[in-house]
C-alpha cells in the first residue's frame, strides 16, 4: 500500500500548492507582458502625438508668419503682430511657447513676461536653418520643435517649446491603474485557484479513497460516484465501469469454477464407481465378460465426456483471451459435407439419418476454417443428442441475402420460447437435456455463438416459418425440406450466418 503524504508534504509538494503556484505564475507573467506591451508604447505614443500637435499648429500659422509686415526702420517683423501670432500658435500647440530667432540665434522681440531658456534652442535651431523640414528634440521633458521661415526676405527660425510633464503624469496614472488591476487580478486568480483546486482535489481524494477501499475490501467495495462532466468525472465513471466489469468477470470466474467442478464430479464419480465394481469382480474371480464389456463401454463414454469437457474449457479459455482467428476464403458446402461425414457412424448407431443438402452454387465466405468446422460439429452433435430414432437431421449450406449460412435442423422436442436465448449461455442446457443420450455440459452453443460473433457473423435459433422467407432450406436448395418420419417433434433449426464473399472474389478464387 502506498504511503500517504503528511500535512507538511502536501503544503510543499501537493497538487494544491502546485496548481496555485501555476495559476499565480501564469497571471503574473500575463500581467507583466501586458504592462510591457502597454506602458512603454503608451509613453512613446504620447510623445509622438505631442510632436504632431506642434507641427500641425506651426503648419497652420506658417502663412501668417510669411505675410507678416516688417518695421521699415529695422526690417524686423512688427513687434505686436509677432507677439500675437506667437501667442496664438502656443495656445494652438497645447500650452507651448513660440519664439522667433534670426540666423545669429538672437531672439526677435523677446517678450518681457517669459524667461526664455535660449541655450537649449541653439542646437535644434541651427539644424533647422540648414533644413527645409521640421527638426525636433526632447530636452529635460521639454519638446523643442524648429522650422525655418522666411519673413521680409530674411531667414528666421521658429522654435516652439512644449512641456511634456503631462506625458509622465498620464503614464503614471495608467501605471497606477494597471498595478491596481494587476493586484485585483492576482487576488482573483488566487481565490479562483483555491476554489478550483479544492473542489478538484476533493473529487480526486474520493477516487483515492475508492481505490483504497478496493485494495482493502476487494471488488465488493462500493464504486466511486461522480456526476461531473469533465475529465475527473470521466475518470470516476471509467473506474466504476472497470470495477463493475471486473466484478462481473470475477462472478463469472467463480460460477465457471463451481459449475466446472460440479460437471467434472459427475463423470468422475461414475467412472470411479464402474472401475471399483470391475475391480471387485476381478478380485472375486467371478468376472462376467458381458457385464465387464458393458461397464468398459460406459467408462469409455465417461472418458469421452471428460475429454469433450476439457476441449470445451480450452475453447472457452481461448475465447476469453481473445486469441486472433484466421480469415481466409472458405466454401461452406464442401466444409459441411466433410464435417457431416465425421458423424455418420454415430448417426447410424442412434438410427438417425444425416441428410446433407448441397447448395445450388458455391457458397463462399471469409472466416476461420477451424472455427467454422467447430461450430458445425457442435450443431450436428447437439442435433444427434435430441433427434428421436428413425428421424433425419438436415444440414444445408446456402445464401441468405448478404450472408452465407449453414442450417442444421432436427425433429426432436424443440426449444421452448423462454429458453431460446438461455441455451446460448455457458453451462445452460435446455429442458430436454437430461433425457438426451450423452447429455453435454451446456457449453457447445455458447462457444459456437462467441466464435460466430468473433468472425463477424451470428448463430441463432430460427423459426421454421422464417426459413423459406429468409432463404432457408427450401429457398437455398431449390426444394422442400425432407419429410419428418418416425416419432418426430416440432424440432429445432440453428442457423450459422457469416458474411458472404462477392461474386467477383468467388470467380477469382475458383
**262 alpha carbon, distance to own chain's centre:** 44
Which residue, 259, 288, 316, sits at the end of a domain? Answer: 316
Could you tell me if residue 460 is inside a domain?
yes
Residue 407 contacts by C-beta under 8 Å, 6 or more apart in sequence? 394, 395, 396, 397, 398, 462, 467, 472, 473, 476, 493, 494, 495, 496
Assess contact for 340 and 357: CB atoms under 8 A.
Answer: no
Domain encompassing residue 41: 1-222
The upper half-sphere exposure of residue 114, i.e. CA atoms within 13 Å in the direction of its Cβ, equals: 16
Q: By C-alpha distance, which of 350, 376, 358 is closest to 486?
A: 350
Residue 491 and residue 352 in one domain:
yes
Do the Cβ atoms of 394 and 357 come closer than 8 Å?
yes
Residue (of 132, 134, 131, 130) closest to 160 by Cα position: 134
- 353 lies in the same domain as 286: no
Measured CA to CA, the distance from residue 48 to residue 414 in angstroms comes to 99
3-state class (DSSP) for residue 476: helix
CATH number at residue 449: 3.30.565.10
Within a 10 A sphere around the Cβ of 173, how many other Cβ atoms? 10
pTM of full prediction above 0.85: no
Q: What is the pLDDT along the chain (510 residues), one digit of tens a residue?
A: 445 545 555 555 566 677 777 777 777 787 777 777 777 788 788 888 888 898 899 899 889 988 889 888 888 898 888 889 988 888 888 888 888 888 888 888 877 666 555 667 788 888 888 888 898 888 777 888 999 998 888 899 999 988 888 887 888 888 888 788 878 877 887 787 777 777 777 777 788 778 887 777 777 677 777 777 777 777 777 877 787 877 777 776 776 677 677 767 777 787 788 788 777 777 777 767 777 778 788 788 778 777 777 777 777 777 766 778 888 999 999 999 999 999 999 899 889 999 999 888 888 999 999 999 999 999 999 899 889 999 999 999 998 888 899 999 999 888 888 888 788 877 666 555 444 444 556 778 888 898 999 899 999 998 765 554 344 444 344 443 444 444 556 789 999 999 988 654 444 454
Looking at residue 412, the DSSP 8-state letter turns out to be S
CA 39 centroid distance within chain: 44
* Domain assignment present for 233: no
Counting the structural domains of the chain, the total is 3
Q: Is the distance from CB of 366 to CB of 330 less than 8 angstroms? A: yes
Residues 293 and 339 in one domain: no
Same domain, 159 and 300: no
For the domain that residue 143 is a member of, what is the CATH number? 3.30.450.210
Report yes or no: 238 and 231 within 8 Å, Cβ to Cβ. Answer: no
**Rounded CA separation 188/184 (Å):** 6
Is 244 a domain residue?
yes
Q: 90 lies in a domain?
A: yes
Residues 376 and 249 in one domain: no
Q: Cβ distance 407 to 357 under 8 Å?
A: no
Give SS3 for 10.
helix
Rounded to an integer, what distance in angstroms lies between the CA atom of residue 492 and that of residue 386?
10
227 is a domain residue:
no
Q: Are residues 312 and 254 in the same domain?
A: yes
Provide the total of helices (H) and of strands (E) in the chain, helices listed first. Answer: 14, 11
CB distance 51 to 147 below 8 Å: no
For residues 128 and 147, is the Cβ–Cβ distance under 8 A? Answer: yes
Instruction: Please check whether residue 228 lies inside any domain of the structure.
Output: no
The three-class DSSP label of residue 302 is helix
Q: Are residues 113 and 177 in the same domain?
A: yes
* Residue 283 falls inside a structural domain: yes
Statement to judge: residues 304 and 391 lie in one domain: no
CATH of the domain at 256: 1.10.287.130
Residue 371 shares a structural domain with residue 400: yes
Q: Looking at the structure, tell me whether residues 35 and 118 fall in a common domain.
A: yes
**153 found inside a domain:** yes
- Among the listed residues 339, 362, 332, 336, the one whose alpha carbon sits nearest the alpha carbon of residue 457: 332
Q: What is the pLDDT of residues 242-290, one digit of tens each?
A: 878 777 777 767 766 776 777 677 777 877 887 887 777 777 777 677 7
List pLDDT tens digits, range 51-71. 889 889 989 988 998 888 988
Amino acid at each position: 500500500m502506498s504511503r500517504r503524504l503528511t500535512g507538511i508534504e502536501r503544503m510543499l509538494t501537493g497538487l494544491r500548492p502546485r496548481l496555485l503556484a501555476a495559476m499565480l505564475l501564469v497571471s503574473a507573467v500575463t500581467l507583466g507582458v501586458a504592462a510591457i506591451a502597454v506602458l512603454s508604447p503608451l509613453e512613446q505614443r504620447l510623445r509622438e502625438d505631442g510632436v504632431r500637435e506642434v507641427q500641425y499648429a506651426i503648419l497652420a500659422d506658417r502663412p501668417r508668419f510669411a505675410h507678416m509686415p516688417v518695421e521699415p526702420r529695422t526690417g524686423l517683423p512688427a513687434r505686436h503682430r509677432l507677439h500675437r501670432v506667437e501667442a496664438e500658435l502656443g495656445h494652438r500647440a497645447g500650452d507651448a511657447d513660440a519664439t522667433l530667432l534670426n540666423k545669429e540665434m538672437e531672439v526677435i522681440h523677446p517678450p518681457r513676461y517669459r524667461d526664455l531658456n535660449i541655450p537649449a534652442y541653439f542646437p535644434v535651431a541651427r539644424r533647422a536653418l540648414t533644413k527645409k523640414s521640421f527638426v525636433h528634440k526632447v530636452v529635460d521633458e521639454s519638446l523643442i520643435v524648429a522650422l525655418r521661415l522666411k519673413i521680409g526676405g530674411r531667414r528666421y527660425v521658429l522654435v516652439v517649446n512644449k512641456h511634456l510633464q503631462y506625458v509622465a503624469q498620464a503614464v503614471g496614472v495608467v501605471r497606477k491603474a494597471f498595478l491596481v488591476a494587476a493586484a485585483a487580478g492576482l487576488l482573483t486568480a488566487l481565490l479562483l485557484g483555491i476554489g478550483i483546486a479544492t473542489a478538484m482535489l476533493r473529487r480526486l481524494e474520493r477516487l483515492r479513497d475508492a481505490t483504497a477501499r478496493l485494495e482493502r475490501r476487494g471488488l465488493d467495495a462500493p464504486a466511486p460516484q461522480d456526476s461531473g462532466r469533465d475529465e475527473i468525472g470521466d475518470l470516476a465513471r471509467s473506474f466504476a465501469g472497470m470495477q463493475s466489469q471486473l466484478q462481473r468477470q470475477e462472478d463469472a470466474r467463480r460460477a465457471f469454477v463451481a459449475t466446472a467442478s460440479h460437471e467434472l464430479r459427475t463423470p468422475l464419480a461414475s467412472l470411479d464407481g464402474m472401475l471399483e465394481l470391475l475391480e471387485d469382480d476381478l478380485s472375486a474371480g467371478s468376472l462376467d465378460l458381458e457385464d465387464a464389456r458393458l461397464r468398459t463401454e460406459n467408462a469409455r463414454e465417461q472418458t469421452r465426456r471428460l475429454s469433450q469437457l476439457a476441449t470445451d474449457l480450452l475453447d472457452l479459455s481461448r475465447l476469453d483471451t481473445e486469441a486472433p482467428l484466421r480469415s481466409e476464403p472458405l466454401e461452406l458446402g464442401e466444409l459441411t459435407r466433410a464435417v457431416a461425414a465425421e458423424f455418420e457412424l454415430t448417426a447410424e448407431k442412434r438410427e438417425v439419418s444425416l441428410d446433407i443438402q448441397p447448395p445450388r452454387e458455391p457458397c463462399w465466405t471469409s472466416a476461420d476454417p477451424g472455427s467454422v468446422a467447430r461450430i458445425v460439429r457442435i450443431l450436428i452433435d447437439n442435433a444427434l443428442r435430441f433427434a428421436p430414432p428413425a428421424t433425419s437431421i438436415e444440414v444445408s449450406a446456402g445464401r441468405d441475402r448478404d450472408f452465407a449460412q449453414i442450417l442444421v435442423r432436427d425433429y426432436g422436442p424443440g426449444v421452448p420460447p423462454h429458453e431460446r436465448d438461455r441455451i446460448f449461455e455457458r453451462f445452460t442446457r435446455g429442458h430436454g437435456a437430461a433425457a438426451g443420450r450423452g447429455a453435454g455440459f451446456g457449453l457447445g452453443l455458447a462457444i459456437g455463438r462467441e466464435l460466430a460473433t468473433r468472425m463477424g457473423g451470428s448463430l441463432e435459433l430460427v423459426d421454421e416459418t422464417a426459413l423459406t422467407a429468409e432463404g432457408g432450406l427450401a429457398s437455398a436448395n431449390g426444394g422442400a425440406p425432407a419429410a419428418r418420419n418416425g416419432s418426430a417433434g416440432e424440432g429445432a433449426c440453428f442457423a450459422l450466418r457469416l458474411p458472404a464473399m462477392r461474386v467477383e472474389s468467388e470467380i477469382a478464387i475458383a
